Structure 1
Amino acid sequence: MSTAMPFDVDTTLMSDVTTAVRAAGLTLRDRYAPHARGVSLSEVVDEIHANDDAVLNVLREPLLRARRGSQWSEDELAGGALPSGEWWIVDPAEGNINHVHGMPDWAVTATLVRENRPVLTVVHLPLTGDTYTAVAGGGAHLNDRRLKVSAKTDLGAALVGTGQAKPGEDERTFRRIGDSVTAMLAGGLVVRVSVPATLQLIHVAAGRMDAFWQFSDVRSGLVAGALLVSEAGGVVTDLAGEPWSTGSRDFLAAAPGVHAAALTALSPIA
């Protein structure tokens, strides 16, 4: 993914978006309990939807107001290219399944996409208070600290990760995930398989992990992390090595020194 064209953003927009996402994070934090909620599938799904609805009620209008003329992508599990213009792609509870099971790996994300390229993002982790931000052409930050990807050059020394994008993927996708984990277990040092994608991608952007891949085009799980990694100096492509966009069918974000080797390991997996 290229960010060669800087996004002309004033400080007011980033401030407004950050304020809105943090406020939404408080709503989600207030709904959190360190134990699982729901036993049956229907109960778990109801809890997930309740989280989404509560957060969207406080997030949608401030974001649309912050960027006049922007549009809202309704389906957080949707993939593929968007129509022309600027769109908000939001995950009101990124890692929702973790939230309802009493685990701490969840966040609120909001990303502005222009012509199918992420140009501004805010990722807030309510339990730690950390906020990750990035602007196309302006770098990536954790709170006030500039982020930089790993300097590793040996895939054999790399901590890498993947995960499923959503429940109910087709059998071919599950087989590709399994085959890719096997390939990276052989080629890398350690493979981390977890959800959500964004919480692995912030580690890639911060240099704590070295690569992340996913066989999916679910936009809401990838756009924030794609911009963060790219602006932190990483390489973001599809598994054919082409620049990634919301229309790509798969995804690889890696430190420059291991990207080629990761691509070599993963690209043959059909």
Structure 2
Amino acid sequence: MSDSSRHVLVHADDVTKTFSTPAGDVQAVRGVTLSVRRGETVGVVGESGSGKSTLARLIMGLQPCTSGRVLFDDQDLSTVKGGDLRRLRRRMQMVFQNPFGSLLPHYSAVANVIEPLRLHGIGSKSSRRARAIELLDTVGVSEHFADLYPTQFSGGQQQRIAIARTLALEPELLVCDEPTSSLDVSIQAQILALLAELQQRLGLSCVFISHNLAVVQRLADRVAVMSHGKVVEEGPTAQIFDAPQDPYTQQLLSAVLPVTA
């Protein structure tokens, strides 16, 4: 199926986000329009402060847009309330930069994965644990370590547990905000390979946020380049890498470091 024939799952329509500060208003995101189709991975790249993470939170509905709107499966996130919003949130999950900070430290690995199932009232106690064990195995964490606590795992293993938890509710969209930037380069490659495998196997749509083009090159079908809150260039990954048009994109590419396998 061609990209153009895939149904658009999430669409940010001319979204802007303005924050009020003692020094005045700051526009973190300025008129961004971006679509993600079913089964597609879109990389969003740019330097720190370019608005990438704010855009991720707008797409997830974690922050309201100052103007514009975000549609998920043709539903405006700003108008969905109550139980409908709760059901919608099951379909989108986020993988954060700091895996330890996103896990419950007083819960074991398996309990962390069980928690979203418990909160949404899915399954029995025994079936939740069985499902959580299955998910941990899917991301490469053995059942033998399921009852250990986050502090007993390495950073890479913690991120695997965090990814398993995001998959518990069988989401259609994953928003990954710098999910490998706190990890060693060799571990980065392992997590990227895991995400690529899961995306293909489960048919997930993904928004992958990074400051490094080399990271998204391994995953993304399309790339959007952000600078000062705006998308300055967008296109298929090969096009962005082979023939970047914007000077800012050219500057980013000149500083690309490879992600080793």
User: Which structure ranks higher in relative contact order (CA pairs < 8 Å, sequence separation ≥ 6)?
Assistant: 2
TM over 0.5: no
Q: Which has the higher strand share?
A: 2
TM-score normalised to structure 2 length = 0.29
TM-score normalised to structure 1 length = 0.28
